[in-house]
Structure 1
Amino acid sequence: MILLILYLFFTLVSSAQHSQASSVRPIKKARGRLSTKKLSPPTPANNIVNSVPITHPSGKVPKKRASKRPLNAKTMKVQHVEQDEKGNYKLPVQIGILTVLSLGTVVYDRDTFHNERYIWPVGYAVKRAYNSMINSKAQTMYVCKIEDGTENPKFVIEAEDQPNKPIIANTATGAWTTVVREANAIRQRDHSNSASGPDYFGFSQATIRKMIQDLPNAHKCKNYVMQNFEVMKNRVAGGRRRGAGARANGNVRNGVVGSPASAIVQSREENGVETGSSVGDGDVVMSNSGEGEVELESEE
């Protein structure tokens, strides 16, 4: 009996050891060499964003823009315009396609009446031809004026064939865009209605810019940058002076004989949009003395 009990006891112990050994699996050795490098902690996301430079859609890193040249860095060549004994310009005077009727008065104590490039004198007035807004087959004369709007200048355009319907805007471009849009609409033209106010009002014309800059108190406009001008001599291409007799035989414009100087006021436009400004062109100056003078104007 004792032997049977001992036999059962050893059998149970042996069975338990065998089951325990079979449940433990051998650990496989890792293939390859174990890395001895320490893993660095992940870089925060904000550092990654800050390290990426801002790029252009084309993939190129944009370069810092160079500052613009000062406005007075260049000298503009302008035409000679007659002056009286007091130094005032004799008006009216025709310059290119514009007839200057009045230069007005500089408002220097209100910043809205000038910027670094232009001065807008109250009372300034020029006249020019352009397509009519009510007659699709004709042109008419337009008078462009600047009036005092107290807080800012008012740019006014009056059409000769619509004397009681002035166009008034806060900018020269805004006023002329209205004219171009209506002139294109009556002609059923599907063209851009954009217009350059400084061109149409004459502010981009170098000779007119000089005339305005020569007005009293222009130097007191604190934001305006005084510009450099060089007055050209009153000579034509052949080096001869033109006098009153030249009017009868027509005028010379860039060496080409054309219509009389008194009829030079015309519109340089195509498809309702002016093809170019008077800046840089050869302009005929027609003073009130009746003598036509031709100059070749250029900006360097």
Structure 2
Amino acid sequence: MAHVFENYRNDYHKSADMDQNLKFKMKYKKLKRLVKNTVLENAALCDQVAQMQENLVIVKAERLFLLRKLCQLQGETDIASIATKVQNNNLNTSLIDCDSGTTKRCTKKRNATDNTNSTGDSNAYKGKTKRCGKIPKRLVQLIPLDIHGRPLFPISLGDLTVYSLGEVVSDRPAYHTEELIYPVGYCSTRVYASLKNVQTTSLYTCKILDGGAKPRFEIVSDSDLNQPLVGSSPDECHSRLLAAISPLLCNVPPKGANFFGISHPTIQNLIQSSPGTRKLPLYKPQRFEVSKSLPGENDGSPIPEKETDPGINFHALHRTFALNSYRIKQEPIEHDLRVLHDLA
């Protein structure tokens, strides 16, 4: 009897051990399954993070492109100025909201004191503030840009074609004025009357070179490449061109900046957006606005060169002297007859 009980006891303990081993085996399989799922989930998250980083790089590039395009369209001098405006917009608005009550009270007190002192001075002060707050905007044309927001050359603007904007020189004051910038390496071409025959056209290449303390302006005709017309200013260069075409054109006022194209709103906007412009001590930044009309439309066209300017436009030159010939038929004048004979 004792032997049977001993066998039953041993079988019971064996079955209990087997159940316990089976229980731990099930827990092991469950933990193994959890670890496997965790590893797979971690790998999927790593792939998602890598994809988000790639998308972030693409979005940053697109944001930079949009900032540069916005800089060109709105006529800002630098992309950093737009970025700082965007970053400080909320701070400025909060500061204005906080100080609005105090500023209103200060302005009321100031107006009260001004009115008690003299009404004429206050009116003059108000007129000055209104005039200083408005700066006229100039119209610019839309030009093709690359994926980085840089203009595609050559830039064709009627008779003017620009091949290079050059580099802004900020350490020499002679390379800019209050209205214009003379970038070194600037190159453009323009169609105008030929040096050899006034009735035919010629292609003139205009360049701005590094001349040391002062810039060097050159105009070279395709009919005479060995004799460039050199000057220390655009007007000097343009006046020499008019005198070389005909001595009778010396009476035409020179407009070298228009002939070179550096005063064209579209080109001036691009030059103003170049690096180093903010370091210029004399230059006053201009405000530009994109023209809503197409470049080929006449109404609202942003082309600054007037079609009636004989010093820039070839057809305007001949229209002017054709009008003089009509006047000569009515009232012959010896000077006008000589002009018509020389140009014919």
User: TM-score band (shorter)?
Assistant: 0.5 to 0.7
Cα distance per residue 1:46-98 (max 9 Å; x no partner): xxxxxxxxxxxxxxxxxxxx9xx779811112111122222221110111321
Gaps of 5+ in 1: 1-65, 237-250, 256-264, 275-300
Structure (1 or 2) with the larger CA radius of gyration: 1
1:155 paired residue among 187, 196, 217: 217
2:206 paired residue among 128, 139, 144: 144
Cα-Cα RMSD: 2.8
TM-score (norm 2): 0.48
Helix, strand or coil at the partner of 1:168: strand
Contact 2:243–2:249 (CA under 8 A) maintained in structure 1: no
**Residue 254 (structure 1) aligns with:** 298
CA distance in 1, matches of 2:223, 2:249: 24
Contact 1:198–1:204 (CA under 8 A) maintained in structure 2: yes
1:164 is displaced (CA, Å) by 1.1
CA distance in 2, matches of 1:273, 1:156: 27
2:142 matched to 1:98? no
2:264 matched to 1:217? no
2:288 matched to 1:205? no
**Residue 296 (structure 1) aligns with:** none
1:102 is displaced (CA, Å) by 0.7
**Residue 314 (structure 2) aligns with:** 267
**Residue 57 (structure 1) aligns with:** none
Cα distance per residue 1:12-55 (max 9 Å; x no partner): xxxxxxxxxxxxxxxxxxxxxxxxxxxxxxxxxxxxxxxxxxxx
CA distance in 1, matches of 2:159, 2:316: 11
Q: Which has the higher contact order (CA 8 A, sep 6+)?
A: 1
Helix, strand or coil at the partner of 1:269: helix
Helix, strand or coil at the partner of 1:73: coil
1:132 is displaced (CA, Å) by 1.1
Helix, strand or coil at the partner of 1:82: coil
Contact 2:198–2:245 (CA under 8 A) maintained in structure 1: yes
Counterpart residue identity of residue 238, structure 2 = W
1:205 is displaced (CA, Å) by 1.4
Helix, strand or coil at the partner of 1:180: helix
Counterpart residue identity of residue 92, structure 1 = P
1:135 is displaced (CA, Å) by 2.4
2:226 matched to 1:164? yes
CA distance in 1, matches of 2:279, 2:319: 38
Change (3 A) 1:195 1:85: same
1:170 is displaced (CA, Å) by 0.2
Contact 1:203–1:209 (CA under 8 A) maintained in structure 2: yes
**Residue 36 (structure 1) aligns with:** none
CA distance in 1, matches of 2:263, 2:133: 13
CA distance in 2, matches of 1:166, 1:70: 43
CA distance in 1, matches of 2:133, 2:185: 26
Counterpart residue identity of residue 192, structure 1 = N
Gaps of 5+ in 2: 1-127, 300-311, 322-344
Contact 1:133–1:183 (CA under 8 A) maintained in structure 2: yes
**Residue 87 (structure 1) aligns with:** 149
1:191 is displaced (CA, Å) by 6.0
1:152 is displaced (CA, Å) by 0.7
Instruction: Give the structure with the higher percent strand.
Output: 1
CA distance in 1, matches of 2:132, 2:220: 35
Helix, strand or coil at the partner of 2:251: coil
1:194 paired residue among 238, 253, 260: 253
**Residue 340 (structure 2) aligns with:** none
1:207 is displaced (CA, Å) by 1.1
CA distance in 1, matches of 2:208, 2:133: 24
Cα distance per residue 1:184-241 (max 9 Å; x no partner): 24xxx476143111111112211111011111111211111111111234x54xxxxx
CA distance in 2, matches of 1:131, 1:97: 12
Contact 1:127–1:142 (CA under 8 A) maintained in structure 2: yes
Contact 2:137–2:286 (CA under 8 A) maintained in structure 1: yes
| Number of residues of Structure 1 aligned to a counterpart in Structure 2 | 180
Contact 1:126–1:143 (CA under 8 A) maintained in structure 2: yes
